[in-house]
Amino acid sequence: MELHSNLQLVDTRRAAEMLALPEGTLKGWRSRNIGPKFVKMGRDVRYDVRDLLDFVKKNTRVPSVRAGVESKREAI
């Protein structure tokens, strides 16, 4: 396995800050095998910044047409 020179690992605290989530959410997700990929090194957990960005991209949703129409009604 080849490690790339642009590998940037962050701890759970920093990952939670980047995702605007409580640290406990990431810990819970890890225990349920959901959420962004992480690296376990002994007792330490690290997240690759690229994996965090990929997680955000994969979970970005575009509002539906109905949601757009409903939000326009509320603005009137």
Burial of 73 (0-12, 13-18, 19+ CB in 10 A): exposed
Angstrom distance (rounded) from CA 38 to CA 30 = 8
Question: How far is it, in rounded angstroms, from Cα 19 to Cα 56?
Answer: 8
When pLDDT is averaged across residues 18-37 and rounded to a whole number, the result is 97
Model confidence pLDDT, tens digit, residues 42-69: 999 999 999 999 999 999 988 877 766 6
Section 23-50 average pLDDT: 97
Residue 73 and residue 43 in contact, taking contact as beta carbons nearer than 8 Å:
no
pLDDT tens digits, one per residue of 2-27 = 566 678 999 999 999 999 999 999 99
The residues with which 41 forms a beta bridge, in sequence order, are 44
pLDDT of the residue at 63: 81
> What's residue 70's pLDDT?
64
Q: For residue 19, how many C-alpha atoms fall within 13 Å in the half-sphere facing its CB?
A: 28
